[in-house]
Structure 1
Amino acid sequence: MSTANTTPLFPFDNQFARDMQGMFAPWEPAKVPAPRWLRFNHALAESMGLEADRLGSDEGLQVLAGNVVPEGATPLAQAYAGHQFGGFSPQLGDGRALLLGEVVTPEGKRLDIAFKGSGRTPFSRGGDGKAAVGPVLREYLISEAMYALGIPTTRTLAAVATGETIARDRPLPGAILTRVASSHVRVGTFQFFAARGDIDSLRKLVNFVVNRHYPALADAEGPERALGLLRAVQTRQAKLIAQWMGVAFIHGVMNTDNMTLSGETIDYGPCAFMEAYDPQTVFSSIDHGGRYAYGNQPGIAQWNLTRLAETLLPLIDAEDSDKAVALATEVIEAFPAEFDGHWLNVHRRKLGIPATQEDGPPGQDTEAEQDRNLVNDYLQLLHRHGVDFTLGFRRLSRVLRGQSSEWSSQFAAQAEPDLQAWSQRWLSRLPSDGTVARSEHADAMDAVNPLYIPRNHLVENALDAASDPGDMALFERLLAIVTRPFDEREADALAALAGTPEQTQGFRTFCGT
């Protein structure tokens, strides 16, 4: 008598496949010769209501390697277009990814489960559709670090080595990543159908995104639904980019096909965390002009949202294009002020400053403007003296604990007068309720200013070891550190330090395509 578990491995309920016909190509993952676990995210599986032990077994390995299509799956490659470094490609699509299906968590949240690196699709455009161990583990590491930092992000359920060798600039071991996302609809998805004049598909997309991500708009009809969606997406993106800026995260490739309608960070290709503060910092090897530099990210987000707005114009007003443009422009022009509000609140929390009811746009003589100047002046100090962004904020709380030298020692000696002047302004902005209150402020600052981020040299060391000779120990150690980013631990002291000049000089990241 068989004791095999016959219940489905995933309780799939595949809304996109069911409702969005014409927006994808049904496809199956390529078989791989010798799959083995790199890492399985047991905690994520449990939080999704999945049978984690079973999914992390040999049965699950064959499924997450693409060798077995699980019951209820409807694997498909999604269609989308996109502006890549400003140039429009009318057809991109999932060239090495497949949406396996969707599950609904015990809390009622619908999530996509998708492969990355599972082989060629109809959208591969000459590529092999594969992924290497290094880029797969980079996405695992950085996405889980972002989740631990409280930033909306796709997550990684599993990384599986395939037993293949794939050709890049040199032969590399192959791997497949299993990504979990609120959905994979992007600005580029809308651009794909707008470029073809397919208004019906655009309307279906609007309804899909509203029902899945913005239920508050469910009762909106006609033009107000499309315009309301644009406003809602803009709000989420303004907040997301402000959160990126608050932890010195550089996405590296903010093409329109890498901006989700859900407001999650997606596609961890040439991403990295800035160390010495400089708004012009670029790590991506393909970003020759600095389009996606750290300081350019808010402006690029607005540019991408403008491209989204263009796709929605026929739904905002089909009869009067000038009116549609005017209405969409009003929304897009509100982005800088909306972003600034989120950015200011992110940095207020980093400085332990309470919010005010007087918030207004930059330039007005308000408490908000004083706080804005205080933050910007501190960033200028960090920039002028080449101070690490993460430690520059984290060690500021030491001042409130009577350990000012641990903060000021990060700066050059000649910075002392400027530090004194700035710190007096900062301290005067904090509520003065005695020693206990100061300690509480310090604790609140430490709860939002991470001590541990994925330092670039540590990431590269871990990925190199995992790729050749296949040693996962450094990766596991670093993952454990960056997924507990706020609590100081003596054993992890070295992981908190910025890289040396030898480690940081000329550092570059790559797409891994």
Structure 2
Amino acid sequence: MKLSEVTLSHRYADMGDAFGRRINPTPFKHPQLIDINPAVLQLLGINAAEASNPDWAQLGCGAKLFHGSRPFAMKYTGHQFGVYNPDLGDGRALLLGEVEHQGKSWELHLKGAGQTPYSRFGDGRAVLRSTIREYLAGEALSGLGIRSTRALSIVGSDEPVTREQIEKGAMLIRVAESHVRFGHFEYLFYTKQLQAQQQLIGEICRRFLPDSQELSIGEQAEAMLRFTTRRSAELVAGWQAVGFAHGVLNTDNMSIIGDTFDYGPYAFLDDYDPTFICNHSDHTGRYAFEQQPGVVLWNLNALAHSLSGFVSVEALRDCLEQFQPQVTDAFAARMRAKLGLTTEEEGDQALCADLLQLLQQGEADYTLFFRALSRYRGERPAQGLQECLAEAQHSALEQWLGHYDRRLAREHSDSCARNRAMLATNPKYLLRNYLAQKVIETAETGDYQPLHTLRQLLQSPFDEHSQHEVWASAPPESGKRIPLSCSS
């Protein structure tokens, strides 16, 4: 369809004032379109030719609204670093409405749109730096086959916004099947709005669990929790397998449908370090990389507690007890794929654990090692793999490869087929922080070509793209452990 034909509906906002407030965005005076995402245009059913429509700059900053749009600030609460905060909500973003395409409903959310009733002391703005990081992160995880919100566009401005320093303001249109967070249910529970909570449970079930429509509200709430638990388990298993650290896994940053949500100080691992902390505000390591499965379970407990008005304690406990085996199974499946294994054996978990320990001790680049392993055919010495590890670990590598060779032999693995499958599983291109920083610094000078290039590479990260080899290089030492804050 043409851009002029896009018409938004408002099933979430139409549920009533218990869920937020209608408010118009505060647009930029001089907006500039920085990038439009062709892949998301396709998701929404908008013609590719519409990418050049001059209205995007106005639509992407709220100066002009899509047909039928009635912007809405969502109210929710949540636990931040384990402490309940009742004063949360869309403080700088507005739900514009929903687009229907091919049986799916996609919500458009304008982020950086100005102050709302939930801004507290914030200015309601986003900066170009954080906007680019969120824009690229959604494409990176989606390209790796991990559920995520995505973004349709970035619009920049010359409007000054103060964070750690004065930066340029920007907005993006975030796209997701749902923007409902764990914190939405916590808000309605702690404010004793059980009728509204029942309404929200019904809406989630209608959209994502259609087979539950004839169930009682208690059965629907339990079905929703089981759905969210499973999707969250699959999500965090995916993060651990690709080396993604979210950085701020508060309950208000957790999606009820199991999407990666609210990008702030995230990072992908360079050297494999399970204790890695990407958020310099996380002084206790609550959200360290290796802690993510446990934190997601903690958040699910908070969600379950908020549903205790509808679901028995026994049923809640049973739901939550499914999480750990679901994470273990999903992670094992992803790691077998990364190792090129097509069958399952009892010793696979130990084989994987031994490799991860080797990578940690050898200070190996996680992504580059698995990409090199994707070309391994039993050669000795395994020079491509040795180059990824400190020399002191070469002997341990040889020992591990012996176990790996015997494991491959037991399933009669064909090296050519295995290499092809592994190259389609272990990415060549990754959203490393030093690359994101390079793109941001270039964009701040008005040059957006590196942003366009990196976005395209992240959308097909397993392909060779031989003309862009430099983007697949290991980071320099100065590019590792770049300090990141929540304003990132």
Q: TM class, shorter-chain normalised?
A: over 0.9
Q: Which amino acid aligns with 1:102?
A: E
Q: Find 1:44's aligned residue among 24, 30, 40.
A: 40
User: 1:58 is paired with a residue of what secondary structure?
Assistant: coil
Q: Tell me the alpha carbon deviations over residues 164-218 of structure 1, each in whole angstroms, 9 at most, x when there is no partner.
A: 1111222111111101001100000000111111111111111111111222333
Partner of 1:71: 67
Check whether the contact 2:363–2:390 (CA below 8 A) recurs between aligned residues: no
User: 1:380 is paired with a residue of what secondary structure?
Assistant: helix
Alpha-carbon distance in structure 2 between the residues aligned to 1:180 and 1:56 = 19
Give the Å deviation of 1:54. 4.0
Partner of 1:319: none
TM-score, normalised by the number of residues in structure 1: 0.91
Partner of 1:430: 408
Q: Find 1:262's aligned residue among 250, 257, 272.
A: 257
Say if 2:112 is the partner of 1:117: yes
Partner of 2:152: 157
Alpha-carbon distance in structure 2 between the residues aligned to 1:503 and 1:167 = 25
Q: Find 1:347's aligned residue among 335, 341, 347.
A: 335
Partner of 2:352: 375
Q: Tell me the alpha carbon deviations over residues 247-303 of structure 1, each in whole angstroms, 9 at most, x when there is no partner.
A: 111111111011101111111111111110111101112212111111111001000
User: 2:482 is paired with a residue of what secondary structure?
Assistant: coil
Give the Å deviation of 1:380. 0.2
User: 1:37 is paired with a residue of what secondary structure?
Assistant: strand
Alpha-carbon distance in structure 2 between the residues aligned to 1:405 and 1:228 = 51
1:378–1:76 CA distance, 2 compared to 1 (3 A): same
Alpha-carbon distance in structure 1 between the residues aligned to 2:320 and 2:39 = 39
Check whether the contact 1:162–1:174 (CA below 8 A) recurs between aligned residues: yes
Check whether the contact 1:91–1:192 (CA below 8 A) recurs between aligned residues: no
Q: Percent identity at matched positions?
A: 34
The within-5 A match list for 1:139-288 is: 139-288=134-283
Partner of 1:84: 80
Q: Tell me the alpha carbon deviations over residues 29-60 of structure 1, each in whole angstroms, 9 at most, x when there is no partner.
A: 00211001110113321331124544642223
1:20–1:242 CA distance, 2 compared to 1 (3 A): farther
Of 409-418 and 118-127, the range deviating more from structure 2: 409-418
Give the Å deviation of 1:110. 0.6
Alpha-carbon distance in structure 1 between the residues aligned to 2:227 and 2:3 = 39
Check whether the contact 2:2–2:46 (CA below 8 A) recurs between aligned residues: no
Give the Å deviation of 1:402. 4.2
Unaligned segments of structure 2, at least 5 residues: none
Check whether the contact 1:115–1:178 (CA below 8 A) recurs between aligned residues: yes
Give the Å deviation of 1:220. 2.8
Partner of 2:300: 305
Alignment size in residue pairs: 487
Alpha-carbon distance in structure 1 between the residues aligned to 2:412 and 2:334 = 25
Check whether the contact 1:275–1:390 (CA below 8 A) recurs between aligned residues: yes
Say if 2:329 is the partner of 1:329: no
User: 1:338 is paired with a residue of what secondary structure?
Assistant: helix
Alpha-carbon distance in structure 2 between the residues aligned to 1:100 and 1:295 = 36
TM-score, normalised by the number of residues in structure 2: 0.95
Q: Which amino acid aligns with 2:466?
A: E
User: 1:328 is paired with a residue of what secondary structure?
Assistant: helix
Check whether the contact 1:90–1:191 (CA below 8 A) recurs between aligned residues: no
Partner of 1:488: 464
Q: Tell me the alpha carbon deviations over residues 33-88 of structure 1, each in whole angstroms, 9 at most, x when there is no partner.
A: 10011101133213311245446422232122111223201110000001111111
User: 1:315 is paired with a residue of what secondary structure?
Assistant: coil
Q: Tell me the alpha carbon deviations over residues 347-368 of structure 1, each in whole angstroms, 9 at most, x when there is no partner.
A: 0110011243xxxxxxxxxx33
User: 1:326 is paired with a residue of what secondary structure?
Assistant: helix
Give the Å deviation of 1:379. 0.2
User: 1:69 is paired with a residue of what secondary structure?
Assistant: coil
Alpha-carbon distance in structure 1 between the residues aligned to 2:327 and 2:360 = 22
Alpha-carbon distance in structure 2 between the residues aligned to 1:98 and 1:52 = 25
Alpha-carbon distance in structure 2 between the residues aligned to 1:434 and 1:476 = 43
Q: Tell me the alpha carbon deviations over residues 13-33 of structure 1, each in whole angstroms, 9 at most, x when there is no partner.
A: 221122344201001100211
User: 2:76 is paired with a residue of what secondary structure?
Assistant: coil
Unaligned segments of structure 1, at least 5 residues: 317-323, 357-366
Q: CA-atom RMSD, angstroms?
A: 1.9
Check whether the contact 1:42–1:56 (CA below 8 A) recurs between aligned residues: no
Give the Å deviation of 1:409. 2.2
Partner of 2:392: 414
Partner of 2:475: 499
1:19–1:488 CA distance, 2 compared to 1 (3 A): same
